Amino acid sequence: MENTAIEQVLNQLQSKELESYRVGKNDFLTFRAVLVKREDFKHFRGIAEIGGDVTYSYLDEPRS
């Protein structure tokens, strides 16, 4: 997964165009590297799934 595609997904989560997005374990490290550079990083919640996938969603309130 390329950085521009990741940014597009993150922007869609932020704007609520997407409710959630599942990241496969093979793309996780690349996805996370882009995610943690964002100012609104704490608004994203990732829930680990069985098999190594992570489902991300965007929260209105930042997590602590």
Instruction: Give the domain ranges of the chain.
Output: 3-58
Q: What's the pLDDT at 1?
A: 86
Two tokens at 47?
């829930």
Whole-Å CA distances, 47 to 4, 33, 50: 23, 17, 10
Q: What's the pLDDT at 64?
A: 81
Q: What's the pLDDT at 44?
A: 98
Q: What's the pLDDT at 30?
A: 97
CA angle in degrees (0–180, nearest 5) for 64-44-50: 105
Do residues 1 and 27 make contact, with C-beta atoms less than 8 angstroms apart?
yes
pLDDT in tens, the chain (64 residues): 899 999 999 999 999 999 999 999 999 999 999 999 999 999 999 999 999 999 999 999 998 8
